[in-house]
Structure 1
Amino acid sequence: MAAGKNIEVKVGALILISMILLGGFIVVMGGLSVARVYTVFVDFDNPSGLQIGAPVKIAGVKVGKVDSLEYRGGKADPKVPWRALVRVKLSIEEKVRDSIHEDAQFVITTQGVLGEPFIGILPGDPEKPPLPEGSIRQGKDPPRLDLFLAQASDLMTMAHKALTREDGPLQDIAKHGASLIKGIDLLIIDNRETITRITKNTEKLSASAVELVQATKDKVDGPQVKRILNNVDVLTASLAKDTGPLLKKTQDTLAHLDEIATDTLGPEQRASIKKTLKEVENIAVSANKTANDVQAMVKHIKAGKGTVGALMMDEEIYDDLQEMLRDIKHNPWKLFWRE
């Protein structure tokens, strides 16, 4: 009798444990939660395969699930200004209510490229109040791959028809292009001698230019030019040095002319002498200014500034000019055609 009771107890305990395990399995697999939740509704035109029980996530963390999907067919709702095809009911955990604000956005995305769709929440501006329970928001539909493929297929069909038409614009372009190439070919053949002559003349011109540049460089680099520049520099410096005292003496002479010639010369003679000394003063001023200008110009040239100074003093400009002429000599077509 006791043995029979022991068996019954064991069987009852096994059944109880099995029921507990089954309930736990249902809770885990069914996504049941004992946490407090609140409800938010989101409208979509194309949920793109979203299913009941799909997770709701914020920053990749699950905070709720999809409770239901209601097909509305675009019926008007006095609570919102838009017409939706599908309304999704979300159950969101109460603990994250304060982090979802009035301007929050709801989007449908997937776990990976081909994963199951779920709803992602962009919380919005933290300065705004939390989203109230029972609110209805307009979600952002996911991009439709099927619609994109259909449009791409239509585009490819249109392109194929355009390419295969005998009287299409592409055929006209091809014919015109062939005619243009043929015309250019005939033009070159008909003017072959002229083109050859132009090429030879260009080569001769470039060779002459190289010789001219070389001769100019030899003259510029020669001692004669340097000696002339040095002489001009010394002459202008001496002239500027001498004109200063001469100008001062002339001014002193004019200042004391009345005192010197009052008793010995008449008015006409004094006026003539004043005029002569005034002209000497003007000549001295002009000579001094000219000397300063010439001296500045010589220094400018010696420093390699300006076009003349660069040509006379800068070896790099000469080398560049010689290289350009050499390139034109070997490639005369560059005078007529730019790359």
Structure 2
Amino acid sequence: MKNTLETRLGIYFVLVAFAGVLVLELSGIALLKRGYTLHGDFLNVQELKAGDPVKVAGVQVGRVEKIGFHENKVRVSMRLNRENQIRTDSIATVKFTGLMGQNFVSLTFGSAITHFKNDDVLKTAEQADLSSLIAKLDGVAGGVENLTKTFSGDSIQNVLGPMTDFLKQNNPRFAIIFTNLQRVSQDIADGKGSLGKFISDDALHNSLLASSKDFQAAAKDLRGLVPDAKTTLADARAAINTTKDTLTDARVAITTAKDTFGEAKKVVTEINEGKGTLGKLAKDETLYKETTQAMTDLREILQKINQGKGSIGKLVNDDSLFKNAKMTLQKLDKATEGLEDQGPLSVIGILFNGLF
């Protein structure tokens, strides 16, 4: 009896433990599984609740652990399985499986090399609000209903009646128009007329093809001319720059010439006014007369010298004076040589007299 009671109690506790683990598993609380937590901030979680799945491409990789507020947004904390590593450029979105289905958090694969770590924050994207979509669909349905009411009964008859009468009255004209259109389309199909030849004539096609080839060849030649054109443009730019520099130098030269002409004009004005040496020479008659008299006196002196008058004239023109000067220099030279020869004897004589 005792063994039976203990057995029943043991079975009962095993069933309770199994049921507890099952409830925790179904509610999304993984006590025995190792994992990590990521967070996402949303403006609207659309009835998302703790325990809802977190999926990547439709495959569940975790569950929503907690939902709360964080800096004017709703923060969703997600508990993900350790083996499911999420890349750092993955984006989280709140989605729903249907009008009455369960909401879940969808994560994109991402392409980054690095992965999120525990307690990191995901980037998020907002999904359209289901209630707003339903309200818009309700408005569209109301508009369609009003439109169908407008064209029902007598209203549609009032619209189509005049159109039917118009078609009946112009039926022969429409028949002629359709006949002409049929004839034109047949002529085009047979290659008649300009449009028919344009569509059916191979010669025109070949001509267009040849023109296209010529155009391609011309384009190729133009591409070949592009480097030459670039070189020409570069040379033109260089010539323009050189011309600009030349014009600048010319402006400087013109400015310098203007300054020079101004100075020359000032000098001429001073000369005309009798200022300075040149001005006095040009305007003062006294200086001119003195200069003329001095030149006259100098000419008379030179004439006297040439005529042998005066000391300088005799010195220049009298040969005897030159000869006397030459003889005097020769005598002086001989006297100097005699002194050089008698110099040692004079020294010895002086020493001898000093001793005795």
TM category (shorter chain) comes to 0.3 to 0.5
- Scaled by the length of structure 1, the TM-score of the pair is 0.41
Larger Rg: 2
- Scaled by the length of structure 2, the TM-score of the pair is 0.39
Q: Higher RCO, 1 or 2 (CA under 8 Å, sep at least 6)?
A: 1
